[in-house]
Structure 1
Amino acid sequence: MSEITRIRPPQAADERATLNGVLDFLRSGVEVKLAGLTEEQAFAHPIHPTSLTPGGVVKHLTGTERFWFAIDFAGLDVEWPWPDDDPNGAFEIAPEDTVEGLLTAYRAECARSREVVAAASLDDLARGEGMTFKLRYALVHMIEETGRHLGHLDLLRESTDGKVGQ
């Protein structure tokens, strides 16, 4: 696995650069939390009674990126991110999942999200069926979503191997 570079978000930038910078900083934190974990560690349940796993959180965030940016905002015809029996989650690890596979999928989905965001104005309305939000709202929501789950990853990682920090 390659070294993960975390770039602190700009503190005196315009709205777009600030929103994108904060979200990218959080996204890189997600990768840091899985870096160095084995599949066994990434898919274990270190905090009871929760069923959350580090790998499951990353799988969920991958789906959330696709849902908010590619499907709901851009209206792209891409695969639905969640199984029919778990329409809002995808936290479950499949037998074929690997840490590297989950991180590769997450990076690819974040890259597609960045492309969608770069091609639109913050005031553009979502094009997904029945959606009425602006891109600005989607960015703020993903900052909240990624930040919340990065907190879960902090706890899961510390409980797994004691690693703390960024």
Structure 2
Amino acid sequence: MTWTAPTIERREFPTVAGEREMLQGWLDFHRDTLLTKCTGLTGEQLAQASSAPSTLTLLGLVRHMTDVERTWFRKRFVGEQIGDHYFTEEHPDADFDVLDPAAAEAQFAAFRAEIEACDKAVADRGLDETFTGSRGTRSLRWIYVHMIEEYARHNGHADLLRERIDGVTGD
């Protein structure tokens, strides 16, 4: 039996809420949106590139966001000493370039697990808390806003990828 990406019940974003709930709600909405763009597609379809020479795929976006979540929340903000899921020095774009459609189910599970780990890692941290890295000092609030922006941009890519695969468009 061929695995297909499951249907996701996309959480609605809050329209009246405190700042933390608003940021978390919009981030969750965009996380879910990426997964809804993949619903019902096989690993092979998820690994279908937009058009040559691009390596942009829906599976690549899921893999990319797995590492982006891990990097900003757990590695940079919390300071966990953990590796990446896909990036390597030899293959810095491995999230897009080194795909195995047969591993799509496991990579979707890794994405969901990473989101859970990231949410747990910052659940009790204040939005004004900061970290300093090679890119300067940033707050947790900045990370939330950046992640919402990152997902929004990539969800636009996902719209176009999905439409190219099977004509499905959505919101």
TM-score by length of 1: 0.90
Structure 1 residue 67 corresponds to structure 2 residue 95: no
- Residue 132 of structure 1 aligns to a residue whose secondary structure is strand
Q: Partners of 1:155 and 1:77 in 2: how far apart?
A: 36
Q: Is the Cα contact below 8 Å between 1:72 and 1:131 reproduced in 2?
A: no
Cα distance change of structure 1 residues 91 and 111 upon mapping to structure 2, 3 Å threshold: same
Q: Partners of 2:97 and 2:123 in 1: how far apart?
A: 31
Matches within 5 A, 1:35-46: 35-46=39-50
Structure 1 residue 56 corresponds to structure 2 residue 60: yes
Q: Partners of 2:104 and 2:148 in 1: how far apart?
A: 23
Pick from 157, 160, 165 the counterpart of residue 165 of structure 2: 160
Deviation of the 1:136 alpha carbon: 0.3
Tell me the alpha carbon deviations over residues 62-89 of structure 1, each in whole angstroms, 9 at most, x when there is no partner: 0000000010010012113411124466
Pick from 7, 10, 14 the counterpart of residue 10 of structure 1: 14
Matches within 5 A, 1:14-163: 14-81=18-85, 82-87=87-92, 90-95=95-100, 98-126=103-131, 132-163=137-168
- Residue 119 of structure 1 aligns to a residue whose secondary structure is coil
- Match of 2:122, as an amino acid? V
- Residue 126 of structure 1 aligns to a residue whose secondary structure is strand
Q: Partners of 1:47 and 1:157 in 2: how far apart?
A: 12
Give the fraction of aligned pairs with identical amino acids, expressed as a percent: 39
Larger strand fraction of residues? 2
Calculate the aligned-residue CA RMSD, in Å. Answer: 2.1
Q: Partners of 2:42 and 2:162 in 1: how far apart?
A: 12
Where does structure 1 lack aligned partners over 5 or more consecutive residues?
A: none
Q: Partners of 1:61 and 1:134 in 2: how far apart?
A: 20
Q: Partners of 2:32 and 2:98 in 1: how far apart?
A: 21
Comparing 106-115 and 93-102, the one that deviates more: 93-102
Deviation of the 1:131 alpha carbon: 5.4
